[in-house]
Chain A
Amino acid sequence: MGLDQSFTGRSYPPSAPYQVGREKIREFATAIGAEDAAYHDPEAARALGYPDVIAPPTFPMVLSMATSRQIVEDPALGVDYSRVVHGDQRFAYSRPVTAGDELVCVNSIESINARGGHDFLTTRSEIGTSAGEAVVTVWTMFVVRGEEG
């Protein structure tokens, strides 16, 4: 019972705007032990040419993981989330996420493949400011394990 491959290319409505806060970035950086000054100190970030603290590279997952639920929980697609494993993860950056950004995610299904009894669902999140500036593209591959798996 594989996923319907005709969902490939489907795009979902933009997510509600996410306000990136300075303290959220600091909290995330602290949680991963990242001590670079630009993640914590606005002055250090300004010295690198940014308006406020910048986020570590994997921070966009905070948004994309939450918003990609509109795909994995789409009843029409019918993913059994209890069988989902995170397969791979990729980011392409135009610039780092910065405190003060108001970000919107536009999610789509990049590909659906069946192999060895499992389904491989790759989602793509285009994350940009609500004013339309591109910030980062996030690809997430979910492995939906087969019944026997």
Chain B
Amino acid sequence: MELPTQRYRVTRADLVRYAGASGDFNPIHWSESFAAKVGLPGVIAHGMLTMALVGRAVTTWAGRPDAIVEYGVRFTRPVEVPDTEEGTEVEVSAVAKDTDDPALVRLDLTATCGGVKVLAQAKAVIKRP
């Protein structure tokens, strides 16, 4: 069963806020010049921020903030965040599948930014809503 797509806007201010809350102060997430020096196209979002946004989509679909039993992703492409008011947008979609355990549902997740997949093998197992 396909679940309704969720969209999350990400701006530079979100990256600063996430850096502070998570303790991940890697300058690739806030410094244009540092990002360029290590060969990145620009400032990029923390992979863990993208994973957190996808986690929001999962708990939204589950209808409970504590529904996730397992959750994993592979980071494949960086989410570039321009220094604009709009920033960028991460779009999350999912297909729900039964598991061997009737109490659990598996979600196969897709996260894209500008039409490009930013995660691979993104999966969550949740308690059946």
| A residues with CB within 8 A of B | 24, 27-28, 30-34, 36, 38-39, 48, 50, 54, 56-58, 61-62, 65-66, 85-93, 95-96, 139
Q: A48-B64, A54-B66, A57-B71 known; A33 and B22 CB under 8 Å?
A: no
B1 within 8 A of A: no
Q: Is the CB of B23 within 8 A of A32?
A: no
22 A–B contacts from the bound complex (CB under 8 Å)? A27-B21, A30-B17, A31-B14, A31-B17, A32-B21, A32-B49, A32-B52, A34-B56, A34-B59, A48-B66, A56-B56, A56-B65, A57-B52, A57-B58, A57-B59, A58-B52, A58-B71, A65-B22, A86-B47, A88-B74, A91-B68, A91-B71
Q: Is the CB of B20 within 8 A of A31?
A: yes
Q: How many pairs of residues, A versus B, come closer than 8 Å at their CB atoms?
A: 100
Q: Is the CB of A88 within 8 A of B65?
A: no
Q: Is the CB of A57 within 8 A of B23?
A: no
B83 within 8 A of A: no
CA distance A59 to B119 in the complex (A): 19
Contacts of A93 on B, CB cut-off 8 Å? 68-71
Q: How many residues of B contact A (CB 8 A)?
A: 31
B73 within 8 A of A: yes
Contacts of B56 on A, CB cut-off 8 Å? 32-34, 56
Quote the shortest CB–CB distance from B31 to chain A (angstroms).
Answer: 15
B24 within 8 A of A: yes
**Binding site secondary structure of chain A:** mixed
Q: Is the CB of B70 within 8 A of A90?
A: yes
